[in-house]
Homo-oligomer: A and B are copies of this chain.
Amino acid sequence: MDEIKIKFLPDEVSVAVKQGELLLRAAHAAGVHINSSCGGQGTCGKCRVLIKSGAVQGGKTEKLSDHDYAKGYRLACLSHVIEPLEVEIPPESRMNRLVLDQNLSHKPTGRLAAPLNMDALKTKRHRLLVEKKFLHLAPPTMENNSSDLSRTLHALKKQFNIKNIEVDYHVIRNLARVLREGEWKATVTLLSAAAGSLREGRSADRLINIEPGDTAGRYYAVAVDVGTTTVCAELIDMNIRESAAEASDYNRQMKYGEDVISRIIYSQKNDGLATLQKSITDTINGVINTLIDAQKIDRGNICHITVSGNSVMTHILCNLDPRYIRTAPYTPTVNIMPPVKARELGVDLDDHAYLSAVPLVASYVGGDIVAGVLSSGIYRRKGNALFIDIGTNGEIVVGNKEWLVTASCSAGPAFEGGGIRHGMRAAEGAIEEIRIDPDNCEPVIFTIGEKKPRGICGSGIINIIAELLEVGLLDQNGKFRTDAPEGRIREGIDGMEYLLVPSDTSGIDGDIVITEVDIDNFMRAKGAMFAGYQTLLESVGLTYADLDEVIIAGAFGSYIDIEKSIIVGLLPDLPTERFSFIGNSSLAGAKMVTLSTELWEDAMRIAGMMTNFELSDNKSFMDYYVASLFFPHTEIKNFPTVMARFNNIERICGRMRKMHP
């Protein structure tokens, strides 16, 4: 069969595929990314592309308007290639590097009362998870010709009082040469016993590398937050105990589905697990290469990699079938993964480097949360804290130094722009803020990077809905006021909608709107999160009033407006000073455990003490969820400050009704 050539714009990348191939698959083959939330089911409408020349078969669903179809838009996941094509990937269907870099550089702001801060980790009081020790060995003589290995272990004991060593074959293989090359001076690398401990077990320090001479002043580790969407890493200079470089990239698994469920589904296909595993190691290898290039270090000087990720990411990275995570009774294969040679997993580090994964708690409570709780310090404090990571998989922890309970709730993709007609990632051109003039209902639009608006990012949705509520254009059920002045509020293909940006000023080919369907999807997402907090608090006999602090983790969380999040009922109505942001706490935690075996043991302890609460079949959760499907909440008395604002709104609305009868 002849191959058909396709050229993708604006990248100008070409690929030849066989007749009938799906356009989405052709793009993957060409290395061109097209967003796709539903894993190619035709239901998310994210993979809209513009056919510039040639024609495809299929590519139309209800997710594509007749107007767009007429202009040449098609859904890539449903379009079959039948002739040569030029295809443009419009901006809203592409990922954007800007956000990634923001993910990293956006450091925790707000109050952070953790007793453990990064500066404390620079003191030598903390034993490193991996450490180098410079040894002076006594050269062998006829009187003492014990083995090279005994001599090495003896020196470790004598100089550093380190006993109980296990020794990698790799070390023994090089031992004789290295000791003589360094003239009986050598540097050993030790992986702490802490890293190998399986909680129930005990373990020994592990001698993982030996080098001639004194190299103890030169070694690095990598900490990696393996996110479902993005992979963020820091290169840690172990000698000075701080970050030397940062890097991040989109998780290359993205092309196989955007959330963990679609990844699990993909993993069940032929070679699916292997493909996903290679995608994540490719991503990690790319990020490591960036770190190496940034600091111009030798790869061989990286002696460890610590990863923290949710349970699915951790399982896939470790080449473990994640399917049992998804089905009742939701059983992970491992929570505490023994250290494994990085190279055995395809991570391109030296032979001696091990990979350690921050321990998991349960199928839907992963190492990212354990690392987050660790870096928040709430497990060391007396006061009650609520720790939340808002996202497609919302993560909730409640507790203090005595106990920790956790739950994971499937909020859906609304926070990341999924299920929102013009939803998009927090990239340039995303609407993040609006102000509506209560007199004429006209909005002022603020976008990321002050570019022409292209869509609405997650924090933008919160702000838009809060503003619509405040000016009274939206009622507490999430419906547009039918008595609102016409023009901006209108009937669209999904029902009623508010026109944010008309096509003549937008950065895309058409109007940008927010619809009642979008608002309903958002309401379900925030409702799930809120019902999660409530159920979890109730399970330990607490109410919001008992919370001394609310810690918001995650890249998404860092961008939200606390007051507006309270207005829409995503956050509880507490004084704003009780809230704090801690940014990418998963990455921070991965770094912290690398710098301190004490904190690694804390992470093990956190994973062990966390009680997981399954929400999926919990009766209270369902009740709370239904009660949350209102702005801010049906139990309006729990939102006194919002009540006060809304009373004010009523007055405004009354005035408006008078003006536009």
Contacts and interface: CB of A to CB of B under 8 A. Distances in A.
Given A153-B200, A329-B145, A331-B148, A344 B167 contact: no
Interface residues of A, number: 57
A9 interface: no
Given A142-B614, A200-B157, A320-B172, A166 B338 contact: yes
Contacts of A318: 172
Contacts of A201: 153, 163-166, 204
Contacts of A169: 338, 340-341, 344
Nearest to A359: B147
Contact of A165 (B142, B200, B319, B321): B200
Contact of A335 (B147, B164, B329): B147
Nearest to A321: B176
The complex is assembled from copies of this chain, and their number is: 2
Contact of A363 (B145, B203, B334, B340): B145
Contacts of A362: 145
Interface in A162-181: 163-169, 172-173, 175-177, 180
B332 A148 contact: yes
Given A163-B201, A344-B169, A149 B321 contact: no
A176 B320 contact: yes
B166 A319 contact: no
Given A203-B166, A328-B142, A173 B320 contact: yes
Given A145-B329, A321-B177, A614-B142, A172 B204 contact: no
Contacts of A200: 153, 157, 163-165
A54 interface: no
B196 A149 contact: no
A11 interface: no
9 contacts: A140-B331, A145-B330, A148-B324, A153-B200, A169-B338, A172-B333, A172-B337, A175-B334, A176-B321
List 3 A-B pairs, minimum CB-CB distance, nearest first: A145-B329, A147-B335, A149-B334
Given A148-B324, A172-B338, 17 more contacts: A140-B331, A141-B329, A142-B329, A145-B363, A146-B331, A147-B332, A147-B334, A147-B360, A149-B334, A149-B336, A164-B200, A166-B338, A172-B318, A172-B334, A176-B331, A202-B202, A203-B204
